[in-house]
Amino acid sequence: MAKTALCEVADQDLQASMAAFFRSLLALDEISAVMVPMHLPAKDMVMQTLVTDPEALDAVDPLAPSFPMNAARLVSRLTKRPAGGTVAVVLRPCEIRALIELVKLKQGLMDDIVVIGLDCPGAFKNTDYRKFAANEPETATGRFLKGALSGETAFGDGVEVPVACRACTHPVPHGADLSVGLFGIDIDKTFLVSAETEKGEALFEKLGLGEQEPPAKREETIESLVAARTAFRDEMFEKIRENTNTAEKLSAYLAGCINCYNCRVACPVCYCRECVFVTDVFDHDPYQYLRWARRKGKIKMPTDTVFYHLTRMAHMTTACVGCGQCSNACPNDIPLVELFTATASLTQAAFDYEAGRSLAEEPPLSAFKADEYADVVEITH
Amino acid sequence: MDDFEPTIIAFVCNWCTYTAADLAGTSRLSYPTNVRLIRVMCTGMVDPKYIIKAFLEGADAVLVSGCHPGDCHYINGNYKARRRMKLLKAILPQYGFDEKRLKLTWIGASDGIQFARTIREMVAEIKTLGPNEAKHAAVV
């Protein structure tokens, strides 16, 4: 059983109390830096920030409904070689799961970090966050949490919790060393801190957190939240499968794609240094376009759109954690997360694998055995 | 449908299935001309995108064929090919590419007869299945 404590929230100001919590964490000798979302002065953007000065933590706001990128990529950068200190990284559940995938794909290490996970009520897409925070950036997080924790998804003016978050069945961090709980907690008074690993327990002791049980309704709240999201997700899968079940329908679904590859850049688990789609392989000669057009009568320009998305599905869906950054990054609002999570559910099921579930499970395409999957081999006489 | 002649793209490994195809030829065995052989050094180098591209360009079926388990020239390339086949068979049927159009077989270097029979059977099966609909769709 994990050790848990209820940390007091002073003056109903969760943000200030979180700042105090991170300040006490950074004061520990073991922790050299904290990477945590913080309000940046210009334009009120909330971005991950690497902080070493405890006095510079006032503007931290890890629960802001802003999710400009999946920070697993940043952790991968911070850990590819020893950094000379331990960094506490504050991550949403989908960021932790993406990080687990990246570590297994040899794109990062867990050794020099402490993962602080957050209960995640979701976060807006970038354009929606700017709209929501405009005029009143100070109150944005409070307004959001109040609604989101009681199950609201629409926040007026067309601002809503994105599909990826509403379909996410992992609202509680898994794989963190320490986690911060909000569900089923009266966040005007307290927030929950629990130690999930040995590393986490050591910090828990050092921080001098008392031991209190979480309120009984926490488990219940989480269960009903997951049930509702699972139902939403299953319905979404059914709809997307119906809408894309032929090559023609898939092509129509992706018709607005301009091959900007933002979805791939934003994807935390698409980790190739150079994607094949930006290499000379796809730098076609002009005569090739004409030849293709002649053969079919017409071709969509730019070309290779469906090819790109199907290839990406083959290359990354076994590691897809459904964070929704692909949809967030699309300039033409193609609903990509529906497509990719639906495909990921098929490919991960095929290998009895779940992205982000465990550091111990090998990624499906990194492992193989002599005797397996006879079902995909034609019997030859 | 009687005049439908399918196009089958076959990725065959240098060491086993390509050699078997060669043997079929030198043994003067006959098999339908619907198949376009692409010789690769190992089935383990067949990236899923090659297969996806073949289907999007209108191939009616794709065959990947290499060495029997345990016989791979590179020790385990065929096991990797098998995992990728498992992966593609989870993805492609969802987007309208019938699973029957994608096949993986093991045909050893001495199996010229087997190679010719596999192609004959595959062509017959794809003829009954009809053409890949993506061929004429405005899909790129």
Mean pLDDT in each 10-residue stretch from start to end of chain B (140 residues)? 88 98 97 97 98 95 97 97 98 96 97 97 96 74
The percentage of chain A sitting over the pLDDT mark of 70, rounded to a whole number, equals 99
Closest by CA position to A110, among listed A91, A131, A133, A132? A91
**pLDDT computed for residue B1 by the predictor:** 52
Closest by CA position to A165, among listed A348, A344, A355, A325? A325
Within a domain: residue B98?
yes
Of A314, A317, A376, the CB nearest to B52: A314
Within a domain: residue B3?
no
d(CA A191, CA A18): 9
A195 close to A169: Cβ distance less than 8 angstroms = no
Which B-chain residues 17-76 have CB contacts (< 8 A) with chain A?
A: 48-49, 52-53, 55-56, 69-70, 76
Give how far the C-alpha of residue B25 lies from the chain's centroid of Cα atoms, to the nearest Å: 18
> Mind telling me how many Å the CA of B2 is from chain A's nearest CA?
23
- The total of structural domains in chain B comes to 1
Structure tokens at A97: 């799961």
Of A300, A311, A364, the CB nearest to B138: A300
**pLDDT computed for residue A298 by the predictor:** 87
A90 close to A36: Cβ distance less than 8 angstroms = yes
d(CA A309, CA A254): 9
The one-character DSSP state at A377 is S
d(CA A88, CA A202): 14
**pLDDT computed for residue B138 by the predictor:** 58
* pLDDT above 90 (res A135): no
Terminal CA-to-CA distance of chain B, rounded, Å?
26
For helices A126-133 and A140-148, angle between their N-to-C axes, nearest 10 degrees: 110
State pLDDT tens for residues A240-288: 999 999 999 999 999 999 999 999 999 999 999 999 999 999 999 999 9
Q: What is the mean pLDDT of residues A152-157?
A: 92
Q: Mutate one of B8, B49, B122 to test the A interface: name it (highest A CB count within 10 A).
A: B49
Within a domain: residue B26?
yes
Mean pLDDT of chain A, nearest integer: 95
Within a domain: residue B53?
yes
Closest by CA position to B137, among listed A257, A299, A282? A299
* pLDDT above 70 (res A380): no
Contacts with B49 (C-beta within 8 Å, 6 or more apart), sequence order: A276, A307, A311, A314, A315
Terminal CA-to-CA distance of chain A, rounded, Å?
55
Within a domain: residue B1?
no
Within a domain: residue B35?
yes
Closest by CA position to A360, among listed A101, A107, A173, A112? A101
Q: ipTM score here?
A: 0.96
Within a domain: residue B111?
yes
d(CA A366, CA A318): 11
CB atoms < 10 A from the CB of A86, how many? 18
CATH code for the domain of B37: 3.40.50
State pLDDT tens for residues A43-99: 678 999 999 999 999 999 999 999 999 999 999 999 999 999 999 999 999 999 999
**pLDDT computed for residue A1 by the predictor:** 59
Within a domain: residue B2?
no
Domain that holds residue B111: 8-135
Contact list in A for residue B88 (CB cut-off 8 A) is 314
Q: Does B80 touch chain A if contact means CB atoms closer than 8 Å?
A: yes
Question: What residue of B is the nearest CA neighbor of A310?
Answer: B52
